[in-house]
Chains A and B, each alone.
Chain A
Amino acid sequence: MNQILVIALREVTRLRKRFGGGASPITVVLLLAVVGFSAFSLRDTISLGSGLYRVGVSGDVPTIQDSRFSIVAVDLDKGYALLEQRAIDVFIDGPRVFYREDDKSQYAVRALKQYMEIQELARIGSSFPEESAFPLKVEIYYLGAGQAAGETAAGETQPATQPEEVIIPSLTPPPAPFTQVIVALLYILPITFISIFFTSSFMDEKINRRLVILLSAPVTPFQIILGKMLPYAIFSFVCTALIAVLTKANVLLALAIFGPTTLFIFAIYLMVPMFYRTFKDTTFIAMLVTTLTTSYLVIPAMFTNVHDLAYISPLTLAVKMYRGETFGWREYLFPSLPMAAIFGFAMFAGTRMLNEEFLMGYKPITRKIADAIYLMMARSKPYLAVPLWSLMVIPGVYMTQVVLLAFATNLPFGMILGVMLIVSALVEELVKSVGIVVLVERGKVTSTRDILGLAFLSGLGFLIGEKLLLLLSINIVSQASVSIAIFGAGLYPLIPLFAHFLFTAIVTLLRTKLRLPYTLALGAGTLVHFIYNWYLLRAIL
């Protein structure tokens, strides 16, 4: 523990030196000013459709202040002429609005309608008494499906329950989680930003070889990673708490929701400096990681209350928190557990990879990954390492498949299922076989019998992980029939176990015994796996 704190302290000093250097507090203030100023000026202006419409105005028209519209004040004749010339899209003359029939003008009309509606409401609300300005009240009741119709048909009138909510249509927009998603996104931004510094720090130490010196000191790699991560992690948690306080949310709940997310993001950013070879690598990998994690977190949350799959993202929980809705343990664990598991896996991988040879070697990225996998497996017996590997990568596989599913929804409807089946088969075969292939290539395993045994264990490990995940997700994701196909629900475990073993055996034997290129072997295994999945799905549907 002490060691970790020492490293953490040194990390803070390093950061202070780097950025505090000759520069004074003035720089810091200046930077903060830049950020604040940018946020302020971009707050309103960067909106959907900024600057797209040109509107001509004449006579008594409410002032239009919206970044989407550029206004020109013209007289009547000029206005018509400009509209004809297609120089402006809409011409407003007092209460009358003129437009053309082409798309550009029609879009402008709709945008104008939306804007004017808000303006008019504000005008009416301020100049008339509330009852006449907002004359319609809608009481909303929800009817459960469990309530039998016969009960009420027996002569009883509808019990006079209180309405769930009372809305005024023009003032109450339909429920959309967008605003809350954006608030929830506020939590992610500082975490990502901080973790980029964490990555930079690792890289810096790697370049000037201090990391190597540190490794020769009597501290374990685990202590080094944890120590270097500690200041950044604390800072992230403080940020999370701060945002929660500022947005008047429950601080403890916010920490509970975003804790696993923070760890997940740190886990990903821990891997970046391990694998990079040149500076450009880091930039690109960091960008990719940011894009992927952000979309993984944000996009499902947009489906809050629309689709159960929204629960794969912890942001959904945050959205619910801001809406004052409740969620249970199962809903909490569903997104959090895989993230925490990935953090654990990354920590383990990090400690194994933190050695001079691995860090300093310049190799093609595929070789580097193979090295990493080997390092993770090498310290225990293959018969233990292989099934554990298959079990441990499950959260990663699961997240990859979720992202791929989101990708696949872009495809024409008929293709979604097919593509999803192929890709998920590919991912599964990849993770199940790669460990064995690496071990064989290093000469750790040689005989066909061993390879077959390992293939069986790999399939077993994967199956156990799959079932655990299914146990967690059942009841939450009830509608996603595709996930049933992917995770193979509703079958006796023996058949999938054999299937997993068979596919993995195909890939590994083709690669190791027939010396086929790995991609080709993988392709063959994937194909068989796909046919199997396809056949199963036909039986289920």
Chain B
Amino acid sequence: MMIPFLAVVKKELASVIRDRTIVISILIQLFFASFSSALLLGMLSLYDSDTIMQFGGPGIRVGMVSAAANPLEAYLSERGLEVIVFETVLDAENAFYQGGVHAYIAVPQNASDTAEIKLYLPDSDAVSSLIRMVIQEPLKRYENYLRAQNDIEVRYADLKGKPTTSYEFIYSVLLPMLMFFPAFVAGSMSIDSLTEELENNTLQTLLSTPLTVNGMVAAKIFSAVILSITQCAAWLILLQRNGIDLQNTAWILLLALIVSGITSTSGTLAAVLLKDRERSQFIYSLMLLAAAAISTLLNVSPITTLSRLAIGDYYTNGWHVMVFGAFLAGLYLLLLKFSRRLIV
């Protein structure tokens, strides 16, 4: 019983490796990972004033024209910008055209409780949006200061913390994507592999060998899962070698395994019921979308579970993974019930 099973697994894996198709899949993941790690993240940081300040902050010079002492000046310096005070607007303007300052702010004399200040920016889109990005925070502080003058208190305004963009991105987007994309591919692959046999009429021949329908289906799912889990393991190692701190790696790997089991089983199920590739792939994609939606609604999303396992969340443990295991078992039983349809 075991030998024909392994023979099918071997055939499946060999065909994937021979066709070099898996290379494309890995390429996509590599593409995504490399894009996201530097470019997308760099893009996100472009809109994150902290990151801008880290790299180019001290080089930005802002002129300030103000008759009386103004807290805005202190706020700007505290942000890390170089503030140059001018006596008159004319001086500031001259400095601007001579390259002394990149932008300047003019605060009118009669600063009542509502203040109207003037901000002069260069015409270049890139520079001016950069400056607007970095002076946003001092302006908001100044705004809060003015509010305080009006006896309006803004709560929680003095919190600091660390910029979250890359943290959130790595654990809630990059890691789930790297762990679940192979699973998504595994599902598609199971459909392709089964419908190809169906549409080329090779399934009957295959079943004339000492192999049951269920054995054949199981072998196809098994090989898809092997491929996907190998990729996941490789990604985990790569991520850790790149200094990304991952907790609960064993559970993460198990979760990835179960999820690819779920996708390949549901893919196979779709293929068994619909018997052609076009519709199966379509329904499979829709099913995944619906499953993602439902699991999020029920608060058992595998994505969240994965992120929480990786950051070492106190309340998340192996039992959360087991929930998906139980679901997989149920799905597989369902498949066994329907697999008979392949013969007739």
Question: B3 on the interface (CB 8 Å rule)?
Answer: no
**Interface status of B46 (Cβ within 8 A of chain A):** yes
CB contact between A19 and one of B98, B192, B279 (< 8 Å): that residue: B279
Question: A280: which B residues are within 8 A, CB to CB?
Answer: 15-16, 19, 21, 189, 192-193, 196
A495 interface contact, C-beta 8 A: no
Query: Complex formed: what's the CA distance from A536 to B148 in Å?
Result: 61
A210 in the interface, Cβ–Cβ < 8 Å? no
Q: Are A149 and B293 in contact, CB atoms less than 8 angstroms apart?
A: no
Query: Among the listed A46, A110, A136, A153, which residue makes an inter-chain contact with B162, where contact means beta carbons less than 8 Å apart?
Result: A110
- Most-contacted residue by chain B among A42, A175, A287 (CB, 10 A): A287
By a CB distance below 8 angstroms, the chain B residues around A494 are none
Q: Which of A379-387, A403-411, A440-448 lies on the face that meets chain B?
A: A403-411
Digitize A289-308: 1 where CB-to-B-CB distance is under 8 Å, 0 elsewhere: 00110010001001101110
Q: What total of chain A residues lie within 8 Å of the partner, measured CB to CB?
A: 102
Number of A-B contacts (CB under 8 A): 299
Q: Does B185 contact A (CB under 8 A)?
A: yes
Residues of B in contact with A, size category: 35 or more
B7 within 8 A of A: no
Assembly CA distance A124 to B31 (angstroms): 45
Q: Are A116 and B159 in contact (CB under 8 A)?
A: yes
Q: Is B308 an interface position by the 8 A CB rule?
A: yes
**Closest Cβ of chain A: how far from B318's Cβ, in Å?**
17
Of A126-134, A253-261, A458-466, A516-524, which stretch is located at the interface?
A126-134
Chain A residues within an 8 Å CB radius of B25: 284, 287
B304 touches A278 (CB 8 A): no
**B115–A135 contact, CB under 8 A?**
yes
Task: Report the Cα distance A144→B47, complex, angstroms.
Answer: 24
Segment touching A, from B119-127, B207-215, B249-257:
B119-127
Chain B: interface secondary structure?
Answer: helix
Are the C-beta atoms of A116 and B164 separated by less than 8 Å?
A: no
Residues of the B chain whose Cβ atoms lie less than 8 Å from the Cβ of A145: 97, 122-124
Of chain B, the residue at the smallest CB distance from A133 is B152
**Contact residues, B302-327 vs A (CB, 8 A):** 303-304, 307-308, 311, 313-315
Complex CA distance for A144 and B308, rounded to whole angstroms? 50
> What distance in Å separates the Cβ of A284 from its nearest Cβ neighbour in chain B?
4
Contact B154 A37 (CB under 8 A): no
Q: A132's closest neighbor in chain B, by CB?
A: B150
Interface membership of B338, Cβ < 8 A: no
List 14 additional A-B contacts (Cβ < 8 Å) besides A142-B122, A291-B32: A18-B278, A34-B286, A48-B172, A49-B167, A54-B313, A110-B160, A120-B157, A134-B143, A147-B97, A152-B93, A157-B90, A169-B142, A277-B19, A305-B126
Q: A residues bordering B, Cβ < 8 Å?
A: 18-19, 31, 34-35, 37-38, 40-42, 45-46, 48-52, 54, 68, 85-88, 95, 97, 99, 103-104, 106-113, 116-117, 120, 124, 128, 131-145, 147-149, 152-153, 157-158, 163, 168-170, 173-176, 178, 200-201, 203-204, 207, 277-285, 287-288, 291-292, 295, 299, 302-303, 305-307, 365, 406-407, 409-410
